[in-house]
Amino acid sequence: MTTAAPTLGQPTRLSRSRGLASRFLVFATSQEFVLLLVVVLLFAVVGNTNPRYLAERNVLNIFNGNAYIAVAAVGMTMVIISRNIDISVGSLIGVLGTVSGSLAINGYPIWSSWLVPILLGGVVGAVIGFMVAYLRIPSIVVTLGLLSILKGGLITVTNGAWITDMPDTYFLAQMRTPEISLLGINIPAIPSPIVIMIVLTLLAALWMRYSPTGRAIYAVGGNAEAARLSGISEKRIIMTVFIINGLCVGIAAVLWATQLSIIQSTVPAGLELQVITSAVVGGVSIMGGVGTTIGAMLAAILLSAINSALVFINVSPYWFRAVVGVLILITVLTDLLRRRRTQA
């Protein structure tokens, strides 16, 4: 079986040999394109019923507020494509965010309070990767145990106290790029989380599409046996994937910690689910081998937009979960259909 359903990041050889029309069809039915369409449609419909939804502040909020989830979803995408899972992301974001805030209020230089959590994330990722790749423990067991360690450890150390009074220069997520005027076109100031989210997603997508190591992630997840026979070291790839995932979680934690003036030093509830959902709705198959970071980012934006839209059309936020459930269902069903088509 080919490892790839036709998605943006992974056109199959089959689609390349076909004509222009069928290549367009493959593109138009890709998860990424459909998601983009749904986001645009959502903005149009909700904006039509309530114009305040399209106000600049709200649109920025939609992209900005959930950017850290999209960043974490970049790492999660790689982990899931390699046919693993990480359910400790939520608690790791909580721990690393607390580390970041504690460094900032205890007089350490600001750059260290941004850098240390990211590196620490990489170290934790390396530990997970070692246990999964070399000790051959299923990633779900490793991260379930780690989740418990991090969650319990964090509350024990901090007693759930809030961290406040960070220096003004600490708030990375509240910074914006300078306004640029290029050839008479004014580019407005963009909040840094959006920039980081987009740059990281594109870098990861290109790396996974074109570099040998990136391609190897798809190979390991799609067919581990075939990957091994073609000389790919599965252990090294899984190790790499978890280290990158840890670094992404570190960046996400810094964005999460620096966006508000208070850091609740507890684990944000249900965060791992949001990250995994973004990846899955973004077209990353939990069976491994399929998906792109672009899809995961678009899904994270879609989820954020839906959450905000419910407020604007006066629907109880309780329905958010139901909507998310339906989205997952649709995604998985289309994934099944696509697989059937490529196999036929």
Which residue has 């099944």 as its token pair? 336
Q: Which of 7/91 has CB closer to other proteins?
A: 91
Helices (H) and strands (E) in the chain, counts: 15, 4
Cα–Cα nearest to 274, from 256, 292, 247, 287: 256
Which residue has 């170290």 as its token pair? 123
Q: Which of 60/155 has CB closer to other proteins?
A: 155
Contact 82, 219 (CB under 8 A): no
Q: How far is the CB of 27 from other proteins (least distance, A)?
A: 25
CA 243 remoteness from chain centre = 15
Instruction: Provide the binding-site residues for other proteins, judged by CB under 8 A.
Output: 85, 87, 131, 135-138, 140-142, 144-153, 155-156, 269-270, 272-273, 276-277, 280, 286-287, 318, 321, 324-325, 328-329, 332-333, 336
Strands 263-264 and 162-163: antiparallel
Q: Which of 24/319 has CB closer to other proteins?
A: 319
Q: How far is the CB of 306 from other proteins (least distance, A)?
A: 15
Q: How far is the CB of 78 from other proteins (least distance, A)?
A: 17
Cα–Cα nearest to 56, from 191, 178, 168, 170: 191
Q: How far is the CB of 88 from other proteins (least distance, A)?
A: 10
Q: How far is the CB of 276 from other proteins (least distance, A)?
A: 6
C-alpha to C-alpha distance for 216 and 230, rounded to whole angstroms: 10
Q: Which of 61/266 has CB closer to other proteins?
A: 266
Residue 166 DSSP code: -
Q: Which of 4/87 has CB closer to other proteins?
A: 87
Contact 252, 196 (CB under 8 A): no
Q: Which of 281/309 has CB closer to other proteins?
A: 281
Q: How far is the CB of 272 from other proteins (least distance, A)?
A: 7
Could you tell me the two tokens for 172?
Answer: 């990375």
